[in-house]
Amino acid sequence: MFPLSPNLRHHWIFAIFLVSCAVVLSNLVHWIAFGIIRRQRKESVAKRVRIPLNINAHLNHPARWVFIIVCVLFTLPAIPLPLTALGMLRELLHMLLVVSIGWFAVGCVYVFQDALVGRYDISIENNIRARRVHTQMQFLRRIVIGFIVIVDFGCILWTIPDPQIWHYGSGLLASAGLASLVLATAAKSTVANLLAGLQIAFTEPIRIDDVVIVEGEWGKIEEITAAYVVIKIWDLRRMIVPLTYCIEKPFQNWTRERADLLGTAFL
């Protein structure tokens, strides 16, 4: 290893000090901002004011990384690196910033879901409307997150200065329609389940917590994913059926209109 000149050594010490200050400042801003959010939440809970939002749980970590990366980007001119290495470091930080912003956007989707779903208690006796909202929001959340992931990946390609790669990033979203047709041809069952999920979310043959009889088994709708439905059987087994089953085949829904259940007894 070659010894550094005193001038260069001073530049490196100053750069390390500046980066450290940027990291500390970003963490301080993050701590103050989310400390205020946590304190307001505690005060509202103490006053028994219902707050469906859980910002700290969904946005705490992505916001921290956004603050850190932005602050470090401002310190790049002070780092005594060659222009090539400095450019590569800047590109890497830009990519990390895009990923962090995408992570933050996904967290915002969850916060929005909490804000909407938190108003509807699924544990009450007459919970038809609550189960409708829970079912629709679960499916819409997955669609929006998938869209965010595609946009975020395109933006990552845009951060690369190579014109060819930048062109790929620009064409990623422009060719979404053609890609959808290709995927529809190659994966008919997946697309059929996606369309069936849209039908289930808005025509509501089933909802979360509905009591159903499927294939002779009595159970409750536990989860509706983008591809299948999870039915919790009375003896704690789980029946997995594709979404298309709920559209194409008959089944019994005991809580379609009301949450009350009827039982029969023979003497």
Whole-prediction pTM value?
A: 0.65
Instruction: From residue 198, give the alpha-carbon distance in Å to each of 12, 179, 207, 247.
Output: 57, 20, 12, 11
206: tokens are 């089933």
Model pLDDT, residue 101: 92
Rounded distance, CA 16 to CA 4, Å? Answer: 15
β-pair partners for 223: 230
Identify the pLDDT of residue 169.
55
Could you write out the DSSP letters of every residue in the chain? -PPPPHHHHHHHHHHHHHHHHHHHHHHHHHHHHHHHHHHHHHHHHHTT------HHHHHHHHHHHHHHHHHHHHHGGGS---HHHHHHHHHHHHHHHHHHHHHHHHHHHHHHHHHHHTTS-TTSSS-HHHHHHHHHHHHHHHHHHHHHHHHHHHHHHHTS--HHHHHHHHHHHHTHHHHHHHHHHH-HHHHHHHHHHHHHHHH-SS-TT-EEEETTEEEEEEEE-SSEEEEEETTS-EEEEEHHHHHHS--EETTSS-S--------
Tell me which residues of the chain have a pLDDT lower than 70: 1-8, 43-53, 121-128, 161-195, 259-260, 263
Residue 238 is predicted with a pLDDT of 92
- Report in angstroms the alpha-carbon separations of 42 from 181, 212, 214: 50, 40, 44
- Rounded CA-CA distance 121/111 in Å is 17
The reported pLDDT for the residue numbered 103 is 92
Q: Which one, of 161, 151, 30, 11, lies nearest residue 78 by Cα?
A: 11
Express each pLDDT in 213-251 by its tens digit: 998 899 998 888 877 889 999 898 999 998 888 888 888
Q: Where are the domains of the chain?
A: 1-119, 126-256
Q: For residue 210, how many other CB atoms are within 10 A of its CB?
A: 22
Decide yes or no: CATH 2.30.30.60 for domain 126-256.
Answer: yes
pLDDT at 2: 44
Q: Cα torsion at 176, 179, 181, 185 (round to 10°)?
A: -160
